[in-house]
Structure formats: structure tokens, C-alpha cells
Amino acid sequence: MSMTTENFGLLAEFVEPDELVEATARIYDTGYRDFEAYAPMPVEGLPEAVGFPRSRMPLVVLIGGVVGCLTGFGMQYYLTVIDYPLNIGGRPLNSWPSFVPVVFELTVLFAALSAVLGMLAMNGLPRPHHPLFGVPQFDRVTQDRFFVCIRRTDPLFHEQTTREFLQRLGAKEVIDVPL
């Protein structure tokens, strides 16, 4: 193929999940970093093999929750104390016990929204197209095949040696991914 000089990377296909985990671990140990594994279901041990860093999602959700909490309180405080002070049954203007339900709801809402939006942002979504969609064999990733793709941008990437390396790992097939 004449496209080989300008491809996205090399895609290796595996039949068994254990093969994928083992191959992925070997790829990581060899020093590759710019690669990604794909499977039709959660595979135990795969995230560790890919070398996933610790997720920053909990921090994002926590910040979302704190912002929601402050928003809920600030909004009610501003309304009842500053913008439109109203004497209700002789209670103090800053009657915080009655603020609590709204503060709680907004905390949950903001935390949940930041979880959804943070998940999308960190996964690089939405993403209408990906070069892997150009590989016909890749369709089976949602059914019964397991893949790992090493990108050309990886400093260790070499057309010939990487291809041979993947073949030695027991790949059923090593496929060029067109850009």
C-alpha cells in the first residue's frame, strides 16, 4: 500500500481478552506510551496494563459539588438578606436552616453535571470521527475482538520493527490504520 508512510498507526487484533492484557502489558513495558487498547467489555487488569494514571474525576466532582453548595447558599443569601429583605415571622434574614434543602440539591446537581461534563471532556468527547473507524476489522470491537493500537506519534514507533513486535505478541493480524 502506498499509504503506509502517512498512516495513523498500527492496529493489532486479538481473539482472547487475556492475550490483549498480556500484549498491552508488554507494549507498556517496552516503553511505548502513545497507544490505546479496545475491548467489547470491561476486561479485568486492562486499565493497569495500559498504565492509566489515577483518575482526576473525583476532584472534578468535588469541585463541582463545592461550587454548587456555594451557589445555592449565595443565591438565597443575596435574595433574602441583600436584594429583598423580608421579615418572615420575626426570623433573622439569614435563616440558614431553610436554605439547606436548596443548598443540598444544588450541590448534588452541580456535582452530577460536573461528573457528566468532566467525563466527556476527559475522554475527548464528543468526537464524530476517528481513524480507527476506517478499518473494517475494527467493527468487531463491539462484539468479540480485542484490539490495541500504537500510534505513529509515539517516539518509539517504527513502521517495520513495531509491526514485527506486534506480530511477535501473538496478534491475529496487524493492520495499517489509514489517516
Partner 1 sequence: MDDSREPTTYRRMGLSLLAGALGVGICIALASHRPAILWRAYLLGVVSCWLVSMGAAGLIAIGNLTGGKWAAAARPYYLASMKTLPVVAALLVPLAFALAQIYPWTQANSTGGESFSAAKADYLSPPFFLARAAAYLIVWLFVTRWLASVSRLELLPGSTLEMRRAGALSLVLLVPTVTFAAFDWVMSLEPHWYSSIFGAVLTAGGVVAAHALAVYGLARTPARLRRAIVDAAAEEVVEGDEKQVAGLFGDLGNLLLAFIMVWTYFSFSQFLIIWSGNLPSEIAWYERRLDGGWQFAALGVVALCFVMPFFILLSRDVKQNIWPLAVVAMIVLVGYGLNMYWTVVPAFQPVNTEELLASAGAMLTLGGLWSALNAWQLGRLLRTHFGGAIDRSRGQERC
Considering only residues 43-102, where is the footprint of partner 1 by CB under 8 A? 58, 62, 89, 91, 97-98, 100-101
Q: How far apart are CA 35 and CA 24, in angstroms?
A: 9
- To partner 1, the closest distance from the beta carbon of 110 in angstroms equals 15
Identity of the residue, 87 or 143, whose beta carbon is nearer to partner 1 in the bound complex: 87
Q: What are the angstrom distances between the C-alpha of 55 and each of 49, 52, 86, 116, 137?
A: 15, 8, 46, 14, 31
Identity of the residue, 96 or 133, whose beta carbon is nearer to partner 1 in the bound complex: 96
Return the amino acid letter for 170: G
Q: How far apart are CA 152 and CA 129, in angstroms?
A: 18
Site string for partner 1, 3-42 (x = CB under 8 A): ----------------------------------------
34: cell is: 502513545
Identity of the residue, 70 or 141, whose beta carbon is nearer to partner 1 in the bound complex: 70
- To partner 1, the closest distance from the beta carbon of 150 in angstroms equals 29
Identity of the residue, 74 or 101, whose beta carbon is nearer to partner 1 in the bound complex: 101
- To partner 1, the closest distance from the beta carbon of 97 in angstroms equals 5
- To partner 1, the closest distance from the beta carbon of 28 in angstroms equals 20
Q: Using CA of residue 165, residue 171, residue 175, residue 177, what is the dihedral sign? A: negative
DSSP 8-state assignment for residue 81: I
CA angle 144, 145, 148 (to 5 degrees): 155
Which are the contacts of 159, defined by CB distance < 8 A and separation ≥ 6?
A: 4, 5
Give residues in contact with partner 1 (CB under 8 A).
58, 62, 89, 91, 97-98, 100-101
